[in-house]
A = this chain, B = another copy of it.
Amino acid sequence: MTVKACVFDVFGTVVDWRTSVARESAPYLARHGVNATPLGFADAWRRRYQPAMEECRSGRRPWTRLDVLHRENLDGLLRDLGSDPAKIGEAELAEWNNAWRKLDPWPEAVAGLTRLKRNYIIAPLSNGNIALMTAMAKRAGIPWDAILGAEVAQAYKPQPEAYLRTAEVLMIRPDELCLVAAHNGDLAAARKAGLKTAFVTRPTEHGDDQATDLAPSQAWDWVGTDFQDLAGKMGC
C-alpha cells in the first residue's frame, strides 16, 4: 500500500468554517440590522451549500465556482431574513462573501500538514474553487503543494469524477491517493472510487451539540484524532 499523495476535505476538516464565518459576518449583521445571530447566520448560509451544488451535479446548471454560489446564497439568505441586498451594496457584499476565504485552521492543522508534507504531496480536494482555496491558504499559512479540487476536476464531490480526475492530474493510480476528511460520506464516495481513506474527528465543526461524524462509520484505512495523530500513524 503505497500512498503518494494525500488530498484533504477543507471545510470542517482543515478549517473551522462555522466560527470563522460567524466572526467575519458579525460586523455586517450589526451594521445592517440583519435579524440573525452570527452563528445562526453561518449555519443558515452553510445550509444552502449542498442544494446550490446539487443544481450543478444534476446537470440543471453548468459547473459554477463556489465563490459564485456562496454569493448567490448570501443574497438569498439576506432576502429571506427581510434584508434587501441592494441596500447593502455590491462592494460590501463582495467583501462579506470573502468570509469564506478567511477561515481559521483547526489549532493543530498546519503543524500536522507540515509533517504530512514531508512524505506525501498534500493538496486540497475541496468543493471550494482555486481562488478561494489559494487566498485561504495564503492568509492561514497552509503549506499545500498544489491547489486541486472541484475546479480542476470540474465536478463537485461526492461525484466520482471529483476523486478520479484528481488522481489523474497527479498521474497516479486512485489507490495511490488518500482522501483525508472528517466526514464519513465523503470518505465513502472516495473509497467507492478506489482511493485510500483517512478519517479525523472534528467533533465541534457544527458546535457543541454535534451529532454527526463523531466516529468512523466504516473501517477506514487510517483513523486519527487530529492531523498530528494522523501524521504519526501515516509514518511522518
Contact = CB atoms under 8 A, between A and B. Distances in A.
A137 interface: yes
B138 A67 contact: no
Contacts of A145: 134, 137-138, 147
A219 interface: no
Contact of A146 (B65, B121, B147, B172): B147
Nearest to A171: B131
B147 A121 contact: no
Copies of this polypeptide in the complex: 2
Interface string A126-138: 0001110111011
A169 B131 contact: yes
Given A138-B145, A146-B146, A147-B146, A130 B67 contact: no
A169 B121 contact: no
Interface of A: 65, 67, 121, 123, 129-131, 133-135, 137-138, 144-148, 151-152, 169-172
22 contacts: A65-B171, A67-B171, A121-B134, A121-B135, A121-B138, A129-B169, A129-B171, A130-B152, A130-B169, A131-B169, A131-B171, A131-B172, A133-B146, A134-B146, A134-B170, A137-B145, A138-B145, A144-B146, A145-B147, A146-B146, A146-B147, A147-B147
